[in-house]
Copies of this chain bind each other. A is one copy, B any other.
């Protein structure tokens, strides 16, 4: 990672340490299997992001790439992930976002597949919705939009931008049979959103896939 980590501001170093700890926790839960998933923090106009092909269970600060908001690599040794552009789109559209977490879980894969045509997963009536920033009641309805998965990342980035603008209140976006993107003002907030959304996906999923 460039510049020398010891030269980074202390609050940024703490965010980066929390990002690594979050990556390890996600790996332990089976949420980033087979080197999937990616994670980043933003600091001003700089982004620190996981490179492609890395086992997230072993992520260290030195593995991160430093990029700018256009995705240009400023430092670090790995190769950027094809999904780097999705991070920059989110940071541009969600000005308050300082951290982004992207995971592949059993339940987000199942739900994003089942509801791919309807274009969203709807979560309503659960106390745990209050784990989402700004949500004060279980009566809240969270609509998590689903974008059809594609390997055309330029097109995907474009669609993500449109979806983010059309759903200004959502705390996450699903890619069908692919995974979840969520974010927050800090790694801690992004992780809270991740845990809340994945919990609710499992609750919904067990009702849907357990019934005929």
Q: Using CB atoms and an 8 Å cutoff, list the residues of chain A in contact with chain B.
A: 29-30, 33-36, 55, 104, 106, 109-110, 113, 125-128, 130-131, 136-139, 149, 151, 175, 177-179, 188, 192-193, 195-196, 198-199, 202-203, 205-207, 209-212
Name the CB-closest residue of B to A212: B212
Copies of the polypeptide in the assembly: 4
| Chain B residues in 8 Å Cβ range of A136 | 151
- The smallest C-beta distance from A191 to any residue of chain B, in angstroms, reads 8
Name the CB-closest residue of B to A205: B206
Bound Cα distance A144, B34 (Å): 17
Cβ–Cβ contact A109 & B138, under 8 A: no
- The smallest C-beta distance from A121 to any residue of chain B, in angstroms, reads 16
Which of B106, B113, B131, B178 is the one whose CB lies under 8 Å from A35? Answer: B131
Which of B36, B110, B127, B192 is the one whose CB lies under 8 Å from A203? Answer: B110
Q: Is the interface of A mostly helix, strand, loop or mixed?
A: helix
- The smallest C-beta distance from A186 to any residue of chain B, in angstroms, reads 12
Known A-B contacts A206-B106, A212-B211; the reply to A193 vs B128 at CB < 8 A is no
Can you sample 21 A-B contacts with CB below 8 Å?
Answer: A33-B131, A33-B195, A33-B196, A34-B128, A34-B199, A35-B192, A36-B131, A106-B199, A106-B202, A109-B126, A110-B203, A110-B207, A127-B175, A127-B177, A127-B178, A137-B151, A138-B149, A138-B178, A139-B151, A205-B206, A207-B209
